Amino acid sequence: MKQKDIVFLLISSVILTLAWIIFTIIHKGISSTIAPVTSEQITAIKPDFDNKTISELVRRHNGAPAFSLSTPSSSTSAEETLQPTPTVISQTPTPIPTGPVSLITQTPNINENQASTGGNTQ
């Protein structure tokens, strides 16, 4: 091969690769769609938060459960020796405002028959 042939092949390969990339980007831009449910879920959150509720949540005390562990004797099993120690926590419930119901969505249930047969249920 001559040097002109190699340069021609190199330039042709570069042009073909660039055209491929550009057409792929254009195709993805045209054919990409967002489902209405997803569009609803990605809407911006309103910046007006309830500061009173947030400060009450910050002040809330979370108690951790305490478990006592004793050495098992020969007559008792390991399941009988682990007893949780109840912790009494007295808290007042904090009312939390709920958002619009339309923002809460539930994913559809797919049973094994639908998943294994490609969704054809008859």
Q: pTM of whole model > 0.75?
A: no
In a domain, 57, yes or no: no
Yes or no: say if 119 and 108 are a contact pair by the CB < 8 Å rule.
no
DSSP one-letter string for 27-49: HHHHH----HHHHHHTSPPPS--
Amino acid 102: pLDDT: 54
Give per-10-residue mean pLDDT for the chain (122 aa): 91 97 92 80 81 84 68 54 66 68 56 52 51
In a domain, 10, yes or no: yes
In a domain, 8, yes or no: yes
Amino acid 62: pLDDT: 72
In a domain, 100, yes or no: no
Amino acid 27: pLDDT: 92
Amino acid 45: pLDDT: 79
In a domain, 16, yes or no: yes
Amino acid 49: pLDDT: 81
Other beta carbons within 10 Å of 116: 8
Its domain, for residue 27, covers: 1-44
In a domain, 2, yes or no: yes
Number of structural domains found in the chain: 1
In a domain, 21, yes or no: yes
In a domain, 19, yes or no: yes
Amino acid 40: pLDDT: 80
Place of tokens 């008859």: 122
